[in-house]
Chains A and B, each alone.
Chain A
């Protein structure tokens, strides 16, 4: 018995995990070479960091939707909590830590902690609900986070950090600096997010999720997904494991949000609305629930696709919608599936 078998990796499963890491690393190297040899257009270069952030978001949401089996419609909310807390941290540390990569790393960690906290607070009520009701409450929380951040003001002066809601009543002393300006968000951000940082974050996210899935917690998540009543009957604490998955997912989304935000000079709360949550959900579903590599590829393709479709300009979103519908019909309708599999000359033999 090899060690690998002993620690519970079926060979096929292990292969999938290694394949995922390999694809990410190779894709990173290829992109890095292409971008340093100016092979990549500047618009594509500008998309590298957002793509990484979306990939992490896909991995993060996949933990909740694919592994835990609960639908979250407010994931962009965690992203925005991470974006705002991360960027604010980076700005506050600007004078203290001159070395940008360290500042970025700390900002992402702080972002993850804030988002995890938000996930915990939201999780307490949300996780008592089930199915569609859980989904609608995550949607509600996403909108609430957006509304709050849209009305939140924070600044710093010699007396420390000042905050206010609704209107700017921070009354900063001369020399103070207003960082978060309500609906104007944060501007004048130093763009310290880099492609290598994004790739590292993605690898870390994958490592966390894969290792968690192949542990007792991951088995518990999937058991709850497959049959909640049976899971309870063998002594699993449903609430605890749901919370664990939810908080971990929120933390990863927060880090991704910080990475995403520090690729732009201005960030506003409205950027992280319901449509963003849905976009990420689409990555997960198109990539296959529970399939990390699929989600990552879907995130890349669906972020690049609208750009590549620019020549169709007006029709691109329409095309996007049609692709989405057709994909869902093709992968979920028994008759269409049967038809497609007959077309495929390399039909896979049934494995046992």
Chain B
């Protein structure tokens, strides 16, 4: 890690688009940090995400991007700092409680329920909005039927956003790669999040698939009016759909701003391309 002076000054709260001005932010991270195996994987991470903002989290490999997601979803408990979700401190919560409080995510290496059907993957994510008990299930009581029918309808509707309703009965593990990535997003949406975290949604996709994905992310954003944070290496995607961008390197935020600002930021260029030998 190089000297601190290298970092460009970072505004404390940033990149709120105009439309969210006056509304409380969905996510505020203050001085977030974690030490993993003696290494400060993420340090002094500050980020505010507006109610309906799309934020890109970029940086070279190993910069700590996924670690930030793991901190937000409490896969790791942060060693320092605070995460406020809808104004509520998530201190002491576990992954499940954070999800209930409004964060849903996808994973870098797809983590679907491979042996469940596509629609069951989505319905599993609706578990917390169903209330019938075990006895109703075993005896097939009316509340079981009512809630299952409702869940089924909603799951199909969600799948139809990505035009996947025709594959509802296929086992999730048998889907082509791109469809698996889409299904992961649908599953995350089914938990009714206010903040959606996408970990490299375009990884392994060809340019036309990436273009479709971009449309889909916009569509989701418009339909659900939620905030989205995405980690991505595909710069055309990031620059196209993100309203704000946060750049990480060696666990530190080195720049924040709009796509235009980031593209011309010297620290970012250096992090990606390296410094010229002679100054």
Contact = CB atoms under 8 A, between A and B. Distances in A.
A–B touch (CB < 8 A): the answer is yes
Nearest to B148: A7
Interface string A229-253: 1111111111000001000100000
A214 B152 CA distance: 12
Nearest to B75: A229
B117 interface: yes
Given A211-B137, A234-B127, A237-B96, A226 B104 contact: no
A232 B132 contact: no
B134 interface: yes
A5 B99 CA distance: 29
A352 B96 contact: no
B191 A8 contact: no
A208 interface: yes
B145 A223 contact: no
A6 B96 contact: no
A10 B169 contact: yes
A230 B138 contact: no
A207 B137 CA distance: 10
Contacts of A211: 137-140
A226 B114 contact: yes
B111 A229 contact: yes
A10 B112 contact: no
Contacts of A244: 134
Given A8-B123, A233-B104, A352-B174, A219 B116 contact: yes
Contact of A236 (B73, B96, B132, B152): B96
B124 interface: yes
B56 to A, nearest CB: 21
A331 interface: no
| Contact residues of B: prevailing secondary structure | helix
A223 B126 CA distance: 12
Interface string B136-171: 011110001101110111000000000000000110
Nearest to A213: B137
Interface string B84-124: 00000000001110011000110100011111110111011
A220 interface: yes
Contacts of B115: 222, 225-226
B51 interface: no
A208 B138 contact: yes
Contact of B123 (A10, A216, A229, A230): A216
Most A Cβ at <10 Å: residue of B73, B96, B100:
B96
A94 interface: no
A227 interface: yes
Given A219-B120, A232-B94, A234-B104, A227 B125 contact: no
Given A6-B152, A8-B119, A230 B112 contact: yes
Contacts of B119: 8
A178 to B, nearest CB: 38
Interface residues of B, number: 48
A222 B172 CA distance: 13
B242 interface: no
B130 interface: yes
Most A Cβ at <10 Å: residue of B99, B104, B124, B152:
B124
| Contact residues of A: prevailing secondary structure | helix
A8 B120 contact: yes
A235 B152 contact: no
B116 A222 contact: yes
Nearest to B100: A235
Contacts of B145: 7
Interface in A192-229: 207-208, 211-212, 214-220, 222-223, 225-227, 229
Nearest to A227: B111
B170 A352 contact: yes
B43 to A, nearest CB: 24
Contacts of A7: 145, 148-149, 152
Contact of A216 (B73, B130, B174): B130
Given A211-B138, A219-B123, A222-B116, A232 B148 contact: no
A352 B174 CA distance: 8
A212 B191 contact: no
Contacts of B188: 233-234
B187 interface: yes
A216 B96 contact: no
Contact of A235 (B128, B138, B149, B170): B128
Contacts of B148: 6-8, 215
A292 to B, nearest CB: 15
Interface of B: 73, 75, 94-96, 99-100, 104-105, 107, 111-117, 119-121, 123-128, 130, 132, 134, 137-140, 144-145, 147-149, 151-153, 169-170, 174, 187-188, 190-191
24 contacts: A6-B148, A6-B152, A207-B138, A215-B134, A216-B151, A219-B116, A220-B124, A220-B127, A222-B124, A223-B121, A226-B116, A227-B112, A230-B111, A232-B95, A233-B99, A234-B99, A234-B104, A234-B190, A234-B191, A235-B100, A238-B96, A244-B134, A352-B170, A352-B174
Report, nearest first, the 5 A-B pairs whose CB atoms are least far apart.
A215-B137, A235-B99, A230-B111, A226-B113, A232-B95
Given A6-B148, A8-B152, A223-B113, 14 more contacts: A7-B148, A215-B137, A216-B127, A219-B124, A220-B127, A225-B115, A227-B111, A227-B112, A230-B111, A230-B113, A232-B96, A233-B105, A234-B99, A244-B134
